[in-house]
A and B are shown apart, each in its own frame.
Chain A
Amino acid sequence: MKVRAREPEQAWKQDYESSPEREDGVETSTISGVQIKPLYTAKDRPQRDEEFPGQFPYTRGIHSSGYRGRLWTMRQFSGFATAEETNRRYKYLLANGQTGLSVAFDMPTLMGQDSDAPTSRGEIGHCGVAIDSLADMEALFEGIPLGEITTSMTINSPAAILLCMYIAVGEKQGFPASKMGGTLQNDILKEFIAQKEFIFPPAPSMRLVVDSIEYCAREAPKWNTISISGYHIREAGSTAAQELAFTLADGMAYVEACLERGMHIDQFASRLSFFFDAHIDFFEEIAKFRAARRIWARWMRERYGAQDERSWKMRFHTQTAGVSLTAQQPELNIARTALEALAAVLGGTQSLHTNAMDEVLALPTDKAARIALRTQQLIAYETGAANTVDPLGGSYFVEALTDELERQAEVYFKRIEALGGVIPAIEKSFFQKEIADSAFRYQQEVEARKRLVVGVNEFTVDDEAPIDILRIDPRLESEQVARVREVRRKRDQVACSRALQRLEKAAAGTDNLMPYILDAVRVYATEGEIMQTLIGVFGLYTETAVI
């Protein structure tokens, strides 16, 4: 008797449907809620010409050689306490094989105020390094030649000021601005949307961003003038598709603001860079990175008419997801971070920060910071993940998910356009509400145990030994306050007042403000004084809080 052979796909379907399913009630959709099929096959493979890395639309990466040519930059975000303390940490990280610097500033610096401002009390040096004037910046980079390394600076509303301080330090070390490279976050739109470190209203904020892009295109062409960030949007609770869509929409808004200024797309587009989150849902993240490159390349070429290939290529930094880390059993965060970092590498990131296991409790200790860096080195040199370009290209699942994230992003682009663009959408609290809704939905899923978080709502332990954490010496607060007052006492007051007056006048007009800010920082005007001068002209922004 002949057994009739079953057609393989049909056979699989029958077998699958007759096999038992897990009954733990845990969601099978991605962490963002994207529905996932139990199996992907050739039928899910998009019908398109074969794609190659280094070729438009760069789904498979912007470099033809992937990491074979050059590994990603291992760039650990770091900063705490005083400039001297952070300078020691930088030298420690560089000595341990880190390949670029990344400055974390404290809250007063991020909010454009000096350490002796009344509302700086209790905040100085806690979540980053305190920088008040050029004197602090000189101490921060003492003994580190700025012409030979690249530095990323995470700062937004006062970004132009900190960039000017960096340029001024480099000049003092003997490097002209044209020789210095690095990345300035300088992404004010995501501040209005998610991280909320805004100071000025949107219009003057955008002017400062365009001023710095325009200035650097001319004077400091090796700077990535902006790092258009999805990280904060995601950490605030968005889904992967929202992170992708809102970030790229912000990118488009910056491009349009520069074009309005009269710049040509190929003058500035190649220096726009991006910054994404690497969250815990492994394949969704890889798909997100791949989709981001493809969407950006299309826009730059087709919508904005960029001719230079470099303008089409999306370069991005990635940080593993701080929100995925747990205060419970914090050592597990090493494993989470490793998996997230691997997703970033398989997604083709240009640089990477891996979080330390204790960052859910405080700033990292030396040991935790070293383990985080070693995690990247392990991925680079032990796992083999860097040996072939886009190893997951052609995976039925990853390709289908890449297309799905692109599709979801396109839906958002239409909604944002219908609201009148990014700034009107911010003013209508559109992004803020979308993100808050996603954050709340996720939290409810965790509470309902539709999502399990190891160590938090499952696999918990009762007795946990506390781990060592970094403590900021409370004495440094008064030291930093004394230091900024000392700087004010010793500088040339007349030159400083004049520089601030010239800046004020320029701010009321339409000149590019960068040269005026540079003049002010050179004569040791403090960050707070420069910001107050600008606030006098631009005013302050307050948001409508939505729950």
Chain B
Amino acid sequence: MSAVQTHPARVIVAKVGLDGHDRGVKVVARALRDAGFEVIYTGLRQTPEMVVDAALQEDAQAIGLSIHSGAHMTLFPAVVEELKRRKATDIVVFGGGIIPDDDIATLKNQGVEKIFTPGTPLQDIVEWLRNRLPERSPAR
């Protein structure tokens, strides 16, 4: 048994852009919460600035973005840019939604580490985040 107590990783999930399709983001948020992550859901229509603000305030290790309106090529990279501007590039950015295959490679090059497309098992998202995010060391 480990003497060091670890804290679960903290993840912001956010709806960027104007669309209100929140079915996917809510299902993912629940699944992550049930898997032991600390999940903060921002609600709808967040600008990249608002998302990064929330991530910094909450000391989150990852930001999960959801979009269904087709604006992902503008808004996902804008979140990464905002993180660079705020010197917070240690925060992992991932996303999901109606995103064509061709766009995924471009988004990865721009710093969005992983895109989960429709039909992804929730377990895959949980596993990916578990592997990607180390558990946090205890607060001192």
A residues contacting B by CB (< 8 A) are 107-108, 110-111, 119-123, 126-127, 191, 195-197, 235-237, 323, 326-328, 360-363, 435-436, 439-440, 443, 447, 453, 456-457, 466, 469, 472, 542-543, 545, 547
- Closest beta carbon of chain B to A113's beta carbon, Å: 8
- Known A328-B119, A447-B122; 9 more pairs at CB < 8 Å: A122-B74, A123-B74, A126-B71, A196-B20, A235-B23, A323-B23, A440-B30, A472-B70, A542-B43
- Closest beta carbon of chain B to A361's beta carbon, Å: 5
Asked whether, in the complex, the Cβ of B26 is within 8 Å of the Cβ of A547, the reply is yes
Asked whether, in the complex, the Cβ of B44 is within 8 Å of the Cβ of A122, the reply is no
With a cutoff of 8 Å between Cβ atoms, the chain A residues found around residue B138 in the complex are none
Q: Report the interface size for chain B: residues with CB under 8 A from the other chain.
A: 39
CA distance A344 to B33 in the complex (A): 38
- Closest beta carbon of chain A to B129's beta carbon, Å: 16
- Closest beta carbon of chain B to A276's beta carbon, Å: 18
Assess whether B6 is interfacial by the CB under 8 Å rule: no
Encode contact with A along B36-71: 1 for CB under 8 Å, 0 otherwise.
000101111101000000000000000000001111
CA distance A542 to B46 in the complex (A): 12
Asked whether, in the complex, the Cβ of B44 is within 8 Å of the Cβ of A543, the reply is yes
One of B20, B47, B70, B117 near A327 (C-beta < 8 A): B117
Asked whether, in the complex, the Cβ of B23 is within 8 Å of the Cβ of A121, the reply is no
One of B27, B101, B118 near A466 (C-beta < 8 A): B101
**Can you list 11 contacts pairing A with B, beta carbon distance less than 8 Å?**
A107-B19, A110-B18, A111-B18, A126-B71, A235-B23, A236-B21, A327-B117, A436-B30, A466-B102, A543-B44, A547-B29
- Nearest 6 CB-CB pairs, A to B? A122-B74, A196-B20, A126-B70, A122-B71, A545-B43, A107-B18
CA distance A455 to B7 in the complex (A): 38
Assuming the contacts A440-B30, A443-B122, asked whether A127 and B100 have C-beta atoms less than 8 A apart, the reply is: no
- Closest beta carbon of chain A to B125's beta carbon, Å: 11
Assess whether B123 is interfacial by the CB under 8 Å rule: yes
CA distance A191 to B121 in the complex (A): 28
Assuming the contacts A328-B119, A466-B101, asked whether A123 and B18 have C-beta atoms less than 8 A apart, the reply is: yes
Assess whether B98 is interfacial by the CB under 8 Å rule: yes
With a cutoff of 8 Å between Cβ atoms, the chain B residues found around residue A542 in the complex are 43
Assess whether B73 is interfacial by the CB under 8 Å rule: yes
CA distance A362 to B71 in the complex (A): 11
Assess whether B88 is interfacial by the CB under 8 Å rule: no
Assess whether B75 is interfacial by the CB under 8 Å rule: yes
- Closest beta carbon of chain B to A456's beta carbon, Å: 5
Contacts across chains A and B counted by CB atoms under 8 Å: 101
Asked whether, in the complex, the Cβ of A327 is within 8 Å of the Cβ of B119, the reply is yes
CA distance A469 to B41 in the complex (A): 32
Assess whether B113 is interfacial by the CB under 8 Å rule: no
Asked whether, in the complex, the Cβ of B20 is within 8 Å of the Cβ of A545, the reply is no
Assess whether B17 is interfacial by the CB under 8 Å rule: yes
Asked whether, in the complex, the Cβ of B23 is within 8 Å of the Cβ of A447, the reply is no
CA distance A440 to B68 in the complex (A): 19
- Closest beta carbon of chain B to A231's beta carbon, Å: 13
With a cutoff of 8 Å between Cβ atoms, the chain B residues found around residue A123 in the complex are 17-18, 69-71, 74
Assess whether B127 is interfacial by the CB under 8 Å rule: no
Q: Which residue in chain A gives the minimum CB-CB distance to B18?
A: A107
With a cutoff of 8 Å between Cβ atoms, the chain B residues found around residue A439 in the complex are 23, 26-27
With a cutoff of 8 Å between Cβ atoms, the chain B residues found around residue A472 in the complex are 70
Assuming the contacts A122-B75, A360-B98, A466-B101, asked whether A457 and B121 have C-beta atoms less than 8 A apart, the reply is: yes
- Closest beta carbon of chain A to B80's beta carbon, Å: 14
Asked whether, in the complex, the Cβ of B118 is within 8 Å of the Cβ of A545, the reply is no
Asked whether, in the complex, the Cβ of A361 is within 8 Å of the Cβ of B18, the reply is no
Assuming the contacts A440-B30, A466-B101, asked whether A107 and B69 have C-beta atoms less than 8 A apart, the reply is: yes
Asked whether, in the complex, the Cβ of B70 is within 8 Å of the Cβ of A362, the reply is yes
- Closest beta carbon of chain B to A122's beta carbon, Å: 3
With a cutoff of 8 Å between Cβ atoms, the chain A residues found around residue B72 in the complex are 122
One of A326, A363, A435, A547 near B119 (C-beta < 8 A): A326
With a cutoff of 8 Å between Cβ atoms, the chain B residues found around residue A440 in the complex are 26-27, 30
One of A127, A447, A457 near B70 (C-beta < 8 A): A127
Q: Which residue in chain B gives the minimum CB-CB distance to A196?
A: B20
With a cutoff of 8 Å between Cβ atoms, the chain A residues found around residue B43 in the complex are 542-543, 545
Q: Which residue in chain A gives the minimum CB-CB distance to B75?
A: A122
- Closest beta carbon of chain A to B35's beta carbon, Å: 12
- Closest beta carbon of chain B to A243's beta carbon, Å: 14
Chain B residues 70-125 with CB under 8 Å of chain A are 70-75, 78, 98, 100-102, 117-119, 121-123
Asked whether, in the complex, the Cβ of B74 is within 8 Å of the Cβ of A195, the reply is no
CA distance A453 to B120 in the complex (A): 12
With a cutoff of 8 Å between Cβ atoms, the chain A residues found around residue B17 in the complex are 107, 122-123
- Closest beta carbon of chain B to A325's beta carbon, Å: 8
Residue among B43, B47, B73, B123 with the highest chain A CB neighbour number at 10 A = B43
With a cutoff of 8 Å between Cβ atoms, the chain A residues found around residue B33 in the complex are 547
Asked whether, in the complex, the Cβ of B22 is within 8 Å of the Cβ of A196, the reply is yes
With a cutoff of 8 Å between Cβ atoms, the chain B residues found around residue A126 in the complex are 69-71
- Closest beta carbon of chain B to A91's beta carbon, Å: 24
With a cutoff of 8 Å between Cβ atoms, the chain A residues found around residue B27 in the complex are 237, 436, 439-440, 443
CA distance A346 to B42 in the complex (A): 42
CA distance A328 to B117 in the complex (A): 10
With a cutoff of 8 Å between Cβ atoms, the chain A residues found around residue B100 in the complex are 361-362, 469
